Amino acid sequence: MVRFLKRIIGLSLLGLILAWFLSAPSYVDPAAFDGVTGDTTAGEQVFYAGGCSSCHAAPDAKGEAKYLLEGGRRFPTDFGTFIAPNISPDPVQGIGKWSALDLANAMLKGVSPSGQHYYPAFPYSSYQRMNLQDIADLHAYLNTLPASGRPSGRHKVSFPFDVRRTLGLWKMMFVRSGPVASLDAPSEELLRGQYLVEGPGHCGECHTSRNAVGGPEYGKWLAGGPNLDGPGSIPNLTADPSGLAGWTVEDIASYLKSGFTPDFDQASGAMADVIENIAKLPDSDRAAIAAYLKAVPPQPTVK
């Protein structure tokens, strides 16, 4: 019996050691940024594509206040309440001292400059599909925005979800590199739409259902589901009859610019913020997003 217990304890310790190593943060190779220079004009477009102000501006911010990314917005979930941090260029409370590499590690790897895993409420599971040039451009643009000395709020997460090291294992299981949808002979327009939707636009973060531990159910990509933030449901964005089958590419592109559906309903809630940002992109980008959504394999709406 004693020998059996020793074996159980030994195996448990071995498992803990293995989990510790497997859950270690990974980083972007610094050499990958050699020769990469950020451009503020291009970075502004990445800023709108990523909808940065929708999460990081103060709640109910309007007009120019949306460019003050001081955080504070609360996101209640089954795992706790997450609070958007200050990502303004303030050198103390914001990210003013971050390099483009620091931003890349945050967005591509979900890791802070101090080596701490970020919670996936920050959608790095989507952003990790972005290219380094876009991140360098975004970094340059963020540094042109007004700074705020407001401290970031602390997430309200209880055990065991407050053990950030376990997020390394979560990433191993659910952070998928490369494209999600399989497209047949994609054109340049389709590939651009795929990049915007699956990467900076992070549409799947809301429009794809999640499992019991918050992992995206990629087999139900963009098929919508229950609204975890309140009443109603999240729409299906695939070309299923319960989704966008009745919409043309032109209908989708028009909606992304005006906020009006083909039936003249108007976008509201979080989607209104998305439209406000996407409307600032070139027409070609909205057309590319629309083409991609019509090309995604249809899925029945998740109930």
pLDDT at residue 226 above 70?
yes
Q: Residue range 63-84: average pLDDT?
A: 93
Q: What sign for the dihedral angle of Cα 285, 277, 280, 102?
A: negative
The tokens for 133 are: 């040039």
Q: Residue range 206-220: average pLDDT?
A: 93
Binning pLDDT at 50, 70 and 90, where does residue 20 land?
Answer: low
Per-residue pLDDT reduced to its tens digit, 157-205: 888 788 888 899 889 999 988 999 999 889 999 999 999 999 999 999 9
Average pLDDT, the chain: 91
| Residue found under tokens 């209880």 | 158
Q: Residue range 11-18: average pLDDT?
A: 52
The tokens for 270 are: 């979080």
C-alpha 173/C-alpha 273 separation (Å) is: 31
Q: What is the pLDDT of residue 12?
A: 52
Q: What is the pLDDT of residue 11?
A: 46
pLDDT at residue 141 above 70?
yes
- Of the chain, the percentage scoring pLDDT greater than 70 comes to 91
Per-residue pLDDT reduced to its tens digit, 280-302: 999 999 999 999 999 999 999 99
